[in-house]
Structure 1
Amino acid sequence: MTDTPETTETHTPDPDTFDIADWLTPVGEKKHRRRETVTVQRHDPALVAEIQELKDEWARRELHNKAANDDDVKADLAVGEASTVDVSDLEARGAELSERIKATSVTLTVYASLGPEIDKAGVGVKNGDPLRDYRILADAVEFPGGVKLTADQWAAFHNTIGEGQMIKIMNAWSTATYSKPEVTAPFSRRS
């Protein structure tokens, strides 16, 4: 007898209890499809500037603290550069900025697509046309609350998040669609 449970590759269900209906998912339903999640952020230049300002204030405070104990650093510290801001104020600003960063983020659920869905997305578009990707994502991606975008809305969303984050979403779609799912039992010695 082996200590390792049977894998899905070798498992044969009991013919008396096997229910084929449980293996048949209606076309278009995605509840059994592989999925990935991706978090993207909307760029906010004012927020980025405030984050940098807070980092600079922390650096000035650290330099001021070093100067209080080190004559060499004190000599390098220009008049007026010392931070007079209380640490609790800096921490409060950091907490507020963290909340604002969260508010500019959204986590998407990206579902695997099937061949016919991918083929349909490419109908009437030239190779390399982003419309194909927008059509795929319109079908494969859900925002919080089950919200889905149209292909036209994906073009606007792409414009908002930029190329790097769009690639991140497409990579998640590719992983969900083309990667072999690996499910291991937590009690297996091999997992």
Structure 2
Amino acid sequence: MPNSDRRVEVALHYFRMAQEKWTSSVLREKNPDPVAVKQLWEAVNSVLQAYCRGMNFTRHGVPKEHFPVIVADFLSDQVDYILQGRTPRPIKDMVRPGSPGVGSVERTDIGMAVGYIRAAKTGLIKDKHPVKTIAGLYGVTDRAVRYWKTKYKQIQPDFFPNLDSVELGERLAQAVKDAGFRYQRGGRGSKGRDEFPRPNKRQSETAR
């Protein structure tokens, strides 16, 4: 095996401990410890991130550390339940009341919004009221957009590299419209909650 810093191995150790703790909780209690469930998925995420990072692969695309079979087997079990139209226990136990956190796709969409506002501020995009524009596209309040500018200013990716300023402005203006629709399509924003509501527990039970 090529030289490795063994991050996958370390993450796998964390996964084994978390899985044992979660399994023990399931066997002892009707409702598993929410902390144990969260730690289980955090451990899975740690393994995935450790494996997928660029430094785990040689320049020829060969992984320095292979993906752990035990984690692959765990994820395969979850997929098997999903294919049967059932929610796996480890996923079901992660569901919490209230508004869910922001996922990676939503963070990217928010980053797009923040990028648009900055582009308008520098003159790359002609928009005197970019905050209101974003609020309208994403179905949120002006206050929420201003909050994004502070909280998510560090997560902006390099959306469209190697483009001149004119083309970049045009691409960003269109991309933010798509991002706003996608954000609302996920049930976010006031309009999104009305037009694309998330199924609640009662709706799910009725559909069965």
TM superposition score normalised by structure 1: 0.25
Of Structure 1 and Structure 2, which has the larger fraction of its residues in strand? 1
Structure with the higher fraction of residues in helix conformation? 2
Q: Greater Rg, structure 1 or structure 2?
A: 1
TM-score (structure 2 length as normaliser) = 0.24
